[in-house]
Amino acid sequence: MSAAASPYDVVVIGGGVTGAGVARDLSLRGVSVLLLEKGDWGAGTSGASSWMIHGGPRYLEFDWNTTRLSTQDAGYIVSIARNFVSRVVFLIPVMPHDKNNIERMETAMEVYDRFQPLKHAHPHRRLTAEEAWQAEPGLAPDIIGAVTMEEWGVDPHRLVFANVEDAIAHGARAMNHTRVTEVIRDGGKVIGVRYRTSDGAATEARARVVVNAAGPWSPEVAGMAGAKVHLRPAKGIHIVYPHRISNFSISAESIDGRDLLLVAHAGFTLLGTTDDDFYGDLESVDVLQDEVDYLIQGIERVFPAIRDYRPVRTTAGVRPTLFKWRRYEDELSRRYEIIDHASDGADGFVSIAGGKLSMYRLMAEETSDAVCRKLGVQASCTTSSRPLPGNDAEPEPAAALAARCGIPALAAVKLQTRHGTRSERVLDEGGTSRILCRCEPVTEGELVYAARHEQVRTLADAFRRVGVAAGPCAGAACIIRTGEVVGRELGWSASQRIDAAREFVRGAWLGRAPVLGHAGWAQEELAQGALRGLMVTDGSR
């Protein structure tokens, strides 16, 4: 074991949106930071979210301050990430016997409207049943009316990576696939961490402060320092459709009265989410058939056409909700807490727990303030106005970029939602505008760029960074080629490329199995067979 101690001001554990936000904030204040993530950037709860930057109108009933803070912070986030976000407009249909009639629903929206300007969103509108059917012909025939609500959508993987990238640009060191195995103490003081990189090498890093931003893993990480974080973790799943299946996003009530959302993002749709106490292993959060049925049953009541569409996979994550006894899961507050463990006898160790993606910037700011007080650093936070990389200006029209670079307009749009004003540079450096997959127009150039500059180490990392294999083929048509492109950049042998593709297919399968209907299994057999054939004819096995 090599044990080269390297001094940092701060080690941040966890590369979800919170840890990445803390690393960026501190780096911008001139603090030296080491950010460590055991998997990939955003691959924990952040990536499994509903991809929404929202105010949370639901919390108005029992925790309006969280709605206020999160709406306000959402406003900052959509400004600093303007090229990565898109408006998501909901129709909230009201059905006979719903817990809220149309008057109550509209009253709630009138209250929410007071917060909407904070996040640059429009106020609600009330629609008659006829107007709602006109907007969304797939709605059930017995709706009474509807109200609208506007939120923002974002790819959380890109949001997390943009924070990591900016932290690096301001002097941070950031390593994915690197697990913290131990927190080092010297008496009552935390003085650093031991970590293991993907090649198995063990190293230690000394720091004046260690930040625990490990989301649902934060109790486990706190335990390494002999400290305590008390969460009430709650599991949530989504069903993913590889295209838009409705004109608008739709809200519905599930059988137990909880809110469900069918979220129409740019090129795909998420149906979610469940919210259940979770006592299992955080390393294997499985999706159950019951959970899939619960979501489809709930949305079918207002959008019967749902059963006509083929889902492509599921996602699952665990909310790092703060502990509270005697409350239903969906009534738990999304408040957050910054814990200075000096009071638990672990001075120099700070945890950030709870919260949500929509207020990650504020959570990072307050955590960084607490860290800076310990370090005696005076610099103040700049992240509410400083754009993330690629968001300094409006990008040119996608059609102009497409024409100049010889790529389809849709590929240009997608590129811009990931790289904003830097899109052409990404493509130029990648050196090719060839499209990798027919169903998801990702260019090989963008993948080359990601392998060179965006810490892609596995094909699942490539999926998160550029959306490869996210379309209807789920990788059947493009994963072998993806392995070749990434493998060429990273110096993989032919058999390593095949192993990488095999590992991707195996991992993706776990999320696909719960949504394979009758025809889906047959199609899956075909796709798997074709892939196996390709992997063998490649000559490696």
Ligand X SMILES: Cc1cc2nc3c(=O)[nH]c(=O)nc-3n(C[C@H](O)[C@H](O)[C@H](O)COP(=O)(O)OP(=O)(O)OC[C@H]3O[C@@H](n4cnc5c(N)ncnc54)[C@H](O)[C@@H]3O)c2cc1C
Q: Minimum distance between the CB of residue 452 and ligand X, rounded to whole angstroms? A: 23
Q: Minimum distance between the CB of residue 261 and ligand X, rounded to whole angstroms? A: 8
Cβ closer to ligand X: 213 or 401? 213
Cβ closer to ligand X: 143 or 338? 338
Cβ closer to ligand X: 223 or 304? 223
Cβ closer to ligand X: 221 or 401? 221
Tokens of 23: 């690393």
Distance (Å, whole) CA 411 – CA 466:
11
Tokens of 495: 């058999």
The beta-strand segments (E) located in 355-511 are none
Binding residues for ligand X (CB under 6 A) = 13-19, 36-39, 43-46, 48-52, 54, 179-180, 213-217, 221, 236, 272-273, 317-320, 355-358
- The Cα-based distances of 149 to 37, 92, 97, 271 in angstroms read 36, 8, 21, 17
Cβ closer to ligand X: 17 or 402? 17
The beta-strand segments (E) located in 278-434 are 313-319, 336-340, 349-354
Q: Which amino acid is at 100?
A: N
Q: Minimum distance between the CB of residue 132 and ligand X, rounded to whole angstroms? A: 24
Cβ closer to ligand X: 14 or 348? 14
Which residue, among 397, 470, 481, 474, has the nearest Cα to 435 in the 3D structure?
481
Residue with smallest beta-carbon separation from ligand X: 16
Cβ closer to ligand X: 15 or 387? 15
Q: Minimum distance between the CB of residue 498 and ligand X, rounded to whole angstroms? A: 27
Q: Which amino acid is at 533?
A: G
Distance (Å, whole) CA 294 – CA 273:
10
Cβ closer to ligand X: 271 or 480? 271
Q: Minimum distance between the CB of residue 322 and ligand X, rounded to whole angstroms? A: 11
Q: How many CB atoms lie within 10 A of CB 117?
A: 12
Cβ closer to ligand X: 209 or 448? 209
Please return the burial class of 200, using the count of CB atoms within 10 Å of its CB with bins 0-12, 13-18 and 19+. Answer: exposed
Distance (Å, whole) CA 505 – CA 321:
32
Distance (Å, whole) CA 345 – CA 226:
8
Q: How far apart are the first and last CA of the chain?
A: 34
Q: Which amino acid is at 327?
A: R
Helical ranges in 81-186 per DSSP H = 102-113, 129-135, 156-169
Q: Minimum distance between the CB of residue 527 and ligand X, rounded to whole angstroms? A: 27
Q: Minimum distance between the CB of residue 368 and ligand X, rounded to whole angstroms? A: 14
Cβ closer to ligand X: 66 or 83? 66
Q: Minimum distance between the CB of residue 206 and ligand X, rounded to whole angstroms? A: 17
Tokens of 189: 């003081």
User: For residue 206, what are the contacts with CB-CB under 8 A and spacing of at least 6?
Assistant: 5, 6, 7, 8, 184, 191, 192
**Can you name the residues that pair with 314 across neighbouring β-strands?**
239
Rounded CA Rg of the chain: 23
Q: Which amino acid is at 371?
A: V
- The Cα-based distances of 11 to 35, 130, 182, 318, 449 in angstroms read 6, 57, 12, 24, 28
Q: Minimum distance between the CB of residue 47 and ligand X, rounded to whole angstroms? A: 7
Q: Minimum distance between the CB of residue 271 and ligand X, rounded to whole angstroms? A: 11
